[in-house]
Structure 1
Amino acid sequence: MVSLKYFFSMTKAYWGNIGFAFLFVVGLIVILVLEKEKIKRYAFLWYSLLVLVFIYNPITLLLSRKFLESTTFDQYYLRYFSLIPVMAVIAYMFTLLLKRLQGMKKLAGVLASCLIIAVLGNCIYTEDWFTKAENRNKVPQDVVTICDLFADYQGDVVRIMAPQDIAVYLRQMDSKFSMPYSRFLPDEAYELSNPNPEVSEVVKYANENNVDYVVVSAVDNVLNAYLNYGFEIYGRTPYYAILKVFTPSWILTEYSMASGDQGMCYTMENISDGTLIVIDGGDAKNEQTVRDAINERGGTVDAWILTHYHQDHVDSFNAIYENPQGIDIKEVYVTPLDADKFYQVAQEWDDVDSFDKFIEITEGANNINYVSRNDELSFDDLKITFFNAYDEVVEDCVEDIPNNDSLVFKMETANRSMLICGDCHSRYMADYLVNTYGDKLQSDILQCGHHGNNSMPEDTEFYEAVSPEVAIFDTPDKIMTSPNYTAGALAAYLQQLNARIVWYKSAPNVFGL
């Protein structure tokens, strides 16, 4: 039954409508009746029947499944049908019939034959797979552009990885392109055009096979996934981007809030030894998301950095620290906010309960580290430098101390860097950071203070000092797109500075450092 269904589907795929199948059957009958020469009968009639028996044979199907590549089996089995001399049989049928006619009848028969073929057939110029050649090489123009981009490449071989529709032509166009696979593409190659690519799989494959460049779809969500990971654009075509492979040592992941609100939650994992750093964690509804993220990475947090004590940053930490359920938290780094000062300046939105809970559950703990401005931490090749923590500078700010006491710190490896601002957002603090640290603020990735809403003013030169490639807004669409908030305006400003904008819309967002 399975074989019958498969044969039926293949027959439908090959013949399409029944017009030519009908003509073919009629042709076999005409040859059987009218053709008397054995050699011609063998050539047209018996050969056709033998091919049909071969194709529609369960044994053929069974053996083919055993030896042919499973991922492309259908297209290979469909090729068996090309052994059927369809047009030869139909043409010879018309020849036999026309030989029996004379004069105008023969001419009318020829015209009728042509008309039948035209009516039953399809014009190839209307098919999707048939297009006008874009260049004299008769290959997609994207391929020609890619070859031109590497025209001045210094080296004998370009180790490159490309989607199938590009790969087959690159080899034909230029012999210096070398790919680590033949016609059978590895699973990793499909990630080059996957709408939600697993970039880590491509990096792993590229490293194992000495691949230096990849060709990926230029669709925003695909391309941005690779750029976030640290790949660099070597060149572009209308439909593809050629990227230099980047191998990060740390993977940073931004998570959205399960509550659907703004918040802040990041994990930073060392690829080689599994060292895990968690930044904030988000509100109470995000607890399970944080637990899952930690457990998926081994269940041990080597360093948990809390930027400040508002509920959308610290409540998940409070819940997990109070009830670890097997999670091991080695060290916690926090801003040393003075409790008396906090109670003195706290407004109704400043979440006193979250701060009180943190103080309660960490009392007497020996793994709570209060950070000072200019402190540094090191984890393997990752360096963390703190540019802000609660001290007299924040007190002098006066404005919104519970937010502006946020830890502001730079995480950097030899290749990439990120500046975390927490909820630090006032003009005073922006001016202080620019005047004090200047070029040290420059980072490839910026986490915008206060979720990008009512953040550091654009005229402070703060964003020019950071000059980010990517700007992250830890916020949902309702804040990014509403005229009632300033996040959209800041995003537009950062885009003018050539920064790509990332927010919860595409979360979880993954970055390589």
Structure 2
Amino acid sequence: MSSLRDILKYYGQNQWMLGMLVLCCVAVLFWTWKTRTSGMVRMCAILVLPSTLLLVLLLNPVSTHFAVALFHDTQVQRFLWIVPMTLIIAICIVLVLSRLRKGYMRAAVFTLVCCAVLFYANGFTRLRTTWQAYTDNWYKVPQVVVELCDDILQDDCERKTAVFPSPLNLWVRQYTGEIQLPFAWNTKEDTPEAEALYDLYGEVGTDPVNLDELARLAKEGGYTYIVLAEQGDYIGDLVENGYKEISRVHMYPERGDSAYYQAYILYRRE
């Protein structure tokens, strides 16, 4: 589940962009109030006011506690993708340039903005990548999910069915459609085993996970692979129930204790 701390930590990774968005929203609102032209009013009504309202609703402790806590952090972050951040910043830059009366001042500010954009875009590298339409991870799938999925796809077992813990299971189908899951998001396969697996392993709870029961349900449901966090509260043993460890993945441990930076073990049914 999400918390304000989780969301701010996520957006704190790009403080410059978030700060620019807030600053540009304030600037456009101020210019609209001062000029009251029809174009500015429409721009505020269509772009700025909805974006500002969305930020206020999702980035304050009160609404986060009551509304956002019902969703996973990835759902909230994707919901904020609808904020037209780049467009609002671009509009604000154009408004600033249009209010400069001297030609040399416009040229100087334009050059400064171009340099800032190129610096933020890592020179021409990111621009060239976008132009050539080459992006190796377009949906920003966490690297730990990529590695685990690749291990499953490269394994010689033909049946690619796996049980992933939350929140990793939220990303699997975005990375590949070749791996069948018993549950993801709020959807489950219409089988008794999938229902039982979701109740046992679908949400992070306070009770220890019974690995003997997890292995039994996975076998009965026909799931070949099980992904297990290395550090967790468990009883039982997957190995004793016919599952064998085939790989371990631990991506960016120095970045903190997030679920995406923990160590995971991939088991396969023998």
TM-score by length of 2: 0.55
The structure with more helix, counted as a fraction of residues: 2
Q: Deviations over 1:1-56 (max 9, x none)?
A: xxxxx8x86985676457322343123323544573x2453134554224434664
In 1, Cα distance between equivalents of 2:234 and 2:154: 21
Q: 1:234: how far off? A: 6.6
Q: How do 1:96-495 residues align onto structure 2 when only pairs under 5 Å count?
A: 96-99=95-98, 100-114=100-114, 140-150=146-156, 153=158, 157-163=159-165, 164-165=167-168, 168-169=171-172, 172-173=175-176, 175=178, 177-184=179-186, 186=198, 188-189=200-201, 197-206=209-218, 209-217=221-229, 219=230, 226-233=237-244, 235-236=246-247, 238=249, 240-244=265-269
Q: How many residues align?
A: 214
Which residue of structure 2 aligns with residue 294 of structure 1? Answer: none
CA drift at 1:109: 0.9
Contact 2:170 2:185 in 1 (8 A): no
RMSD: 4.9
Q: Distance in 1 between matches of 2:151 and 2:79?
A: 36
Residue 266 of structure 2 aligns with an amino acid whose one-letter code is A
Kept in 1: contact 2:169–2:185 (CA 8 A): no
Q: CA deviation at 1:147?
A: 0.8
Counterparts of 1:30-49 in structure 2, within 5 Å, are: 30-33=31-34, 36=37, 38-44=38-44, 47-49=47-49
Task: Indicate the SS of the match to 2:108.
Answer: helix
State TM-score, norm by structure 1.
Answer: 0.32
Q: Which entry has the higher C-alpha Rg, 1 or 2? A: 1
**Deviation by residue 1:311-366 (Cα, 9 ceiling, x = unmatched):** xxxxxxxxxxxxxxxxxxxxxxxxxxxxxxxxxxxxxxxxxxxxxxxxxxxxxxxx
Structure 2 counterpart SS, 1:242: strand
- The structural deviation recorded for 1:202 is 1.4
User: 2:185 corresponds to which letter in structure 1?
Assistant: R
- Secondary structure, counterpart of 2:152 in structure 1: helix
Q: Which runs of 5+ in 2 are unaligned?
A: 126-134, 188-197, 251-264
- Map Cα deviations across residues 195-217 of structure 1 (whole Å, 9 max, x no partner): x7531341354256443432334
Change in Cα spacing, 1:97 to 1:69, as seen in structure 2 (3 Å) is closer
Q: Against the structure 1 CA distance between its residues 214 and 169, is the aligned structure 2 distance closer, same or farther, given a 3 Å change threshold?
A: same
Q: Normalized per residue, which structure has more strand?
A: 1
CA distance in 1 between partners of 2:169 and 2:71 (Å): 19
The one-character-per-residue Cα deviations of 1:208-244 (angstroms, maximum 9, x if unpaired) are 6443432334x49899963453333173355532221
Can you list the C-alpha shifts for 1:398-436, whole angstroms capped at 9, x where unaligned? Answer: xxxxxxxxxxxxxxxxxxxxxxxxxxxxxxxxxxxxxxx
Measured against aligned partners, the alpha-carbon deviations of 1:87-128 in whole angstroms (never above 9, x if no partner) come to: 322221221221334433212111333566789x798x9xxx
Gaps of 5+ in 1: 1-5, 126-131, 246-513
Name the counterpart of 2:94. Answer: 95
The answer on whether the counterparts of 2:210 and 2:234 sit within 8 Å (CA) in structure 1 is no
Q: Secondary structure at the match of 2:184?
A: coil
Percentage of pairs with the same residue: 13
Structure number with higher relative contact order (C-alpha < 8 Å, ≥ 6 residues apart): 2
Which letter maps to 1:160?
A
Would you say the 8 A contact 1:145–1:237 is kept in 2?
no
Task: For 1:211, give the aligned amino acid.
Answer: Y
Residue 211 of structure 1 aligns to a residue in which SS?
coil
